[in-house]
Copies of this chain bind each other. A is one copy, B any other.
Amino acid sequence: MINVGIIGATGYAGNELVRLLLQHKEVSIKWYGSKSYIDKKYASIYKNMFQLVEDVCLDDNMDQLAKEVDVIFTATPQGLCSSLIDEEILKKVKVIDLSADFRIKDVNIYEQWYQMKHNNPSFIEKAVYGLCEINRPLIKDANLIANPGCYPTCSTLSIYPLLKEGIIDGNSIIIDAKSGTSGAGRSAKVDNLYCEVNENIKAYGVATHRHTPEIEEQLSFGAGEKVVINFTPHLVPMNRGILVTAYGNLKKEVTYEEVKSIYDNYYEKEQFIRVLEKDIVPETRWVEGSNYVDINFKIDTRTKRIIIMGAMDNLVKGAAGQAIQNMNIMFGLKEDTGLLQVPMFP
């Protein structure tokens, strides 16, 4: 039995960790960390957990946590995880950080896009970027995981096989992404009120969104050269789900079958990636509540571009699910343990 602690258990990603971990047979949650709700019953904040979780919320005490648990998930704002860890901690406990603190290898780029000083740059190198399907071997031996952002997970998984195989021009890539509102978090802001989000669609963070350099770094690894992209996220009036629509210039003429076979080569054995059948578009409704990423593409011979689409649940594969997938890999469990939820529709 793996003992787990969660720091930031009362955000949406934190609650999703709890939902999934309660259904994970090899795990016991020992610590529901939440600075905002110390001493309050967890189930009084997330009432879906009534009679399922009896614990109260606890403060962030890293030293004690490191003694009591085997792995800590930090689902916290930027800067917190990096301020809490050190060599001593990481000797005792594995850490899976759902924030962006250790995702970007180039600390200057991190500081520039996040507009904050990095607390603990020496650990960036040690952290493994936990995109399971790509970095599985490294994840296995890691004790600090930078769990990927939601948009970067969906974007990278959708695009990088074509980039790596030289099908598209990296610098032509435009990613137009759409996310459900749980991605905006649970903080009380006017912009996230029901009446402000409902019956509306808007872009945000245009040309400045912090997931841009994370995607660029991963795509650059895939391409073997520096890739600069456009990334525009949009807020959609729905709870969950991310859809990525990406555009890239084809470097040569390709057929549907050629591209399909590339995706199949990369993903046929990947349980959580479903390359759809011809002309079936990915839709967020078909992955809701599950760890799947649905991917497909369309070649436009008129414009010599390819349109790549990827859909997933931002709280599962885009956050808590992938974090648990990382944990499973790190602890030598079957990778799908606790992650076999069938997508729920409608």
Contact = CB atoms under 8 A, between A and B. Distances in A.
A5 interface: no
Given A236-B237, A307-B206, A274 B51 contact: yes
Contacts of A201: 178, 236, 238, 241, 243, 283-284
Nearest to A175: B176
Report how many copies the assembly holds.
4
A298 interface: yes
A200 B50 contact: no
Contacts of A174: 174, 247, 305
A203 B48 contact: no
A85 interface: no
A228 to B, nearest CB: 6
A340 interface: yes
Contacts of A188: 188-190, 193
Interface residues of A, number: 85
A239 B207 contact: no
Interface in A127-148: none
A238 B48 contact: no
A319 to B, nearest CB: 13
Most interface-central of A206, A300, A342 (chain B CB within 10 A): A342
Interface string A173-187: 010101011101011
B15 A345 contact: yes
A229 B303 contact: yes
Contacts of A197: 194
A322 to B, nearest CB: 17
A186 B228 CA distance: 40
Given A206-B298, A230-B305, A283 B236 contact: no
Contacts of A239: 194-195, 198-199, 346
B243 A283 contact: no
Interface in A285-324: 285-290, 294, 298-300, 302-303, 305, 307, 309, 311
A46 interface: yes
The 10 closest A-B pairs by CB, nearest first: A48-B343, A195-B346, A200-B285, A202-B283, A176-B176, A194-B197, A207-B300, A188-B188, A239-B346, A47-B286
Interface of A: 12, 15, 18-19, 22-23, 46-52, 171, 174, 176, 178, 180-182, 184, 186-190, 192-204, 206-207, 228-230, 232, 234, 236-241, 243, 245, 247, 274, 276, 280-290, 294, 298-300, 302-303, 305, 307, 309, 311, 340-346
21 contacts: A12-B346, A48-B287, A174-B305, A178-B201, A188-B193, A192-B195, A193-B194, A195-B346, A196-B285, A196-B346, A198-B239, A199-B288, A200-B283, A200-B285, A202-B243, A203-B243, A204-B281, A230-B300, A236-B236, A239-B346, A341-B341
